[in-house]
Structure 1
């Protein structure tokens, strides 16, 4: 999962049915673990767009989306923010949660 710019993320959200946006910071150990979990989940949903970005580079959007902490996974459906996940729990949990939006 490559880091994307805000413009690339906005484009994906605007044009995707289901889009997952992963917010992290590079020095966060929990974020690193969550990122590895998402890499696995991403492989299970090849038709879903997964984006990630360092929250430090999008402070205005963090406020707009009311992000409380990282790691955070945002699930957008047809351009609308549907769910925020802060506790990643496990790969099966993430899989089932994302699957529920299909």
Structure 2
């Protein structure tokens, strides 16, 4: 399981290696829905230990927020080759997140 907190600069550097699929979870500290979404994401990642998801506070990521047009939190952004391919705003269930992530990380890039 891996939900790794990063700064915007660290994430930008990580995106330069765009050979692998990535996912980024945007949140804010005082958002109760974000806390619930994060907990569901952590549970989904227990079942898929090889998947790494980056976590970033949207208030400290203005460049990516604007570039990727993140309109609210929580937001799970799926990336391919360093670019967003899907943004999920509704953290519906653990099962939904698990399915979303395993499909994304298992599909050929």
Return the TM-score normalized by structure 2.
Answer: 0.84
> Where does 1:62-77 land on structure 2 (aligned, <5 Å)?
62-77=65-80
CA distance in 2, matches of 1:14, 1:92: 30
Alignment: residue pair count: 102
RMSD of the TM alignment (CA)?
1.5
Structure 2 unaligned spans of 5+: none
1:49 aligns with 2:62: no
> Where does 1:11-50 land on structure 2 (aligned, <5 Å)?
11-15=13-17, 17-50=20-53
Return the TM-score normalized by structure 1.
Answer: 0.89
CA distance in 2, matches of 1:91, 1:98: 11
Q: In the TM superposition, what is the alpha-carbon distance from 1:20 to its structure 2 partner?
A: 1.1
CA contact (8 A) 2:4 2:52 kept: no
